[in-house]
Structure 1
Amino acid sequence: MRIEFLGTGGFHPNERRHTTCLMVPEIGLVLDCGTAGFRIAEHLETKTLDLFLSHAHLDHICGLTYLVTLPLIQGVEKMRLFGVQNILDAVRDSLFSQAIFPVGPPFEFHAFTAGDTIELANGIEIESFPLTTHPGGSTAYRFELDGQKIAYVTDTTVDGTYTEFVRGADLLIHECYFPDDNLEWAKTTGHTHTSSLARLAKDANVGRLVVTHVDPLNLDDDPIGLDALTRVYPNVTIADDGLTIDLAK
């Protein structure tokens, strides 16, 4: 199987990155659905989609409105939306309110409590973990594909609470919005900065780190100060839109 990085930026899209959206096309699994959600259609390989939301900030959910045509135009038979209850409520009552988007949501809503494990119809289990340092909180996920343990963590500071949750992951997909010289902004906004992510990857003994959800105001090849990370943990990639990771390789 492969993981497609459809959107790898945070806050707002820019010329290089749309906002967060990851997809495993072979099983119809989607993690967050920001502005890059329009790309889901071209990657479809299933008649069902299982979409997991980390939280309800617009850069993670606005792309859900782009999916309303999938059942009609591309024959998608079922779209299931997973998240903690208040996140699903925000999507249903605010994003899809008549005043904002006058087409009803085409999803089955499936609420869980952060910390639960959700088993999908294909037998894959998605473990969840509550993150608390970003305004409104967020949810991290962990699952296994092709014998590879994958963890997805975004919109949080590295606070030590979830180290065990990601420990031993073959692939850790983690946000890093700020370089170390913006440490105070990282604390204020509840985002990760470079050296804290380096320590986490090393301490949790992860196999590979892919950095996503980077600052959209920085279009450089290295928006996070990569040297500070690789001195501590070397096996790291900064994701761009279009990155594909083949888990079988």
Structure 2
Amino acid sequence: MRLQLLGSGGFHPNERRHTACWMIPECRVVFDAGTSAFRIAERLESTELQIFLTHAHLDHIAGLTYLLVPMLDGRLERVQVIANESTLAAVQEHLFSDPVFPVEPGFEFVRLESRKSYPLCDGGVVTWCPLPSHPGGSTGFRIDWPASGEIPAKSVAYITDTFVDGTYDSFVTGVDLLIHECYFDDELGAKWAERTGHSFSTQVADLASRVGAGQLVLVHVNPGRSEADPIGLEAMKARFRATEIGEDLMVLQV
């Protein structure tokens, strides 16, 4: 399965990274719709799309407005936006309010809580869990694909905008690929992570090791630092070797 990181930064775009969005084109699914969502249209493999949102902060939803043109010109015919009730309310009442963006693209809004899981291509199943430590809360997602012939079962988890507090360890246990935010390095994280509901280097690496993840890819990194390594990668690898920093347009295989 081919995953594409369209945006790997947090809070605001910088010269190196746009904000949160990643995509599995063949499954017609996107997770979050930050400023990098302008990249969705050229990667579409279907006229239908499901978009799962973690929460309603602007760096995760602003890109929903960018899908208006693909909806109008027919590249997209059906788009489902799936999120918890409070996130959907914020998107509909504020992002698509008349003073902000007066033309709603014609999305179908689906309340996340209406189902315990959502089907994807190739037998994949999306499940979710609440992440309460971020201001306003966030949602973690996991995809599990069953084994097929000689191809083993595979899994991906996406965790962003949260402090690593042990509450979701069981949700990500044994995942093959853990896409996890790492906003701060250890120095800044000691002061700001818990206060802002974000994660820092050591605690993310230790989480990946603790839950037996196969691979750790770091996203939602601090946009105030635009260098290739803003979080201290070598120190993280000493704790969990299979760690890398996500970059915009990175392709991941699961």
**Scaled by the length of structure 2, what TM-score is found?**
0.93
Give 1:174's match in structure 2, choosing from 167, 180, 185: 180
Give 2:231's match in structure 1, choosing from 213, 218, 224: 224
Structure 1 residue 112: deviation in Å? Answer: 2.1
Q: Which residue of 1 aligns with 2:247?
A: 240
Q: Which residue of 1 aligns with 2:222?
A: 215
Please give the secondary structure, in 2, of the residue aligned with 1:169. coil
Whether 2:183 is the aligned partner of 1:157: answer no
Q: Give the conservation status (yes or no) of the 8 Å contact 1:114–1:129.
A: no
Whether 2:154 is the aligned partner of 1:148: answer yes
Structure 1 residue 237: deviation in Å? Answer: 1.0
One-letter code of the match for 2:102?
P
Please give the secondary structure, in 2, of the residue aligned with 1:149. strand
- Cα distance change on mapping 1:123 and 1:197 into 2, 3 Å: same
After TM superposition, the structure 1 = structure 2 runs for residues 1-249 of structure 1, keeping only pairs within 5 Å, are 1-113=1-113, 116-120=116-120, 123-145=123-145, 147-182=153-188, 183-247=190-254
Q: Give the conservation status (yes or no) of the 8 Å contact 1:114–1:130.
A: no
Task: Give structure 2 stretches of 5+ with no counterpart.
Answer: 146-150
One-letter code of the match for 1:84?
N
Structure 1 residue 121: deviation in Å? Answer: 7.8
1:47-83 deviations in whole A, cap 9, x for unaligned?
Answer: 1000000000000000000001112224312100000
Structure 1 residue 127: deviation in Å? Answer: 0.3
Structure 1 residue 118: deviation in Å? Answer: 2.4
Mapped partners of 1:206, 1:92: distance in 2: 36
1:99-123 deviations in whole A, cap 9, x for unaligned?
Answer: 1001024210100229932235875
Structure 1 residue 27: deviation in Å? Answer: 1.3
Task: Give structure 1 stretches of 5+ with no counterpart.
Answer: none
One-letter code of the match for 2:226?
L
Bigger mean CA deviation after superposition, 217-226 or 83-92:
217-226
- Cα distance change on mapping 1:240 and 1:194 into 2, 3 Å: same
Q: Give the conservation status (yes or no) of the 8 Å contact 2:7–2:34.
A: yes
Q: Give the conservation status (yes or no) of the 8 Å contact 2:27–2:120.
A: no
One-letter code of the match for 2:244?
T
CA RMSD of aligned residues (A): 1.6
- Cα distance change on mapping 1:170 and 1:156 into 2, 3 Å: same
Structure 1 residue 22: deviation in Å? Answer: 0.2
1:17-51 deviations in whole A, cap 9, x for unaligned?
Answer: 00000000011110000000100011111110000
Bigger mean CA deviation after superposition, 170-179 or 137-146:
137-146
- Cα distance change on mapping 1:142 and 1:216 into 2, 3 Å: same
One-letter code of the match for 2:131?
L
One-letter code of the match for 1:103?
V
- Cα distance change on mapping 1:5 and 1:103 into 2, 3 Å: same
Please give the secondary structure, in 2, of the residue aligned with 1:217. coil
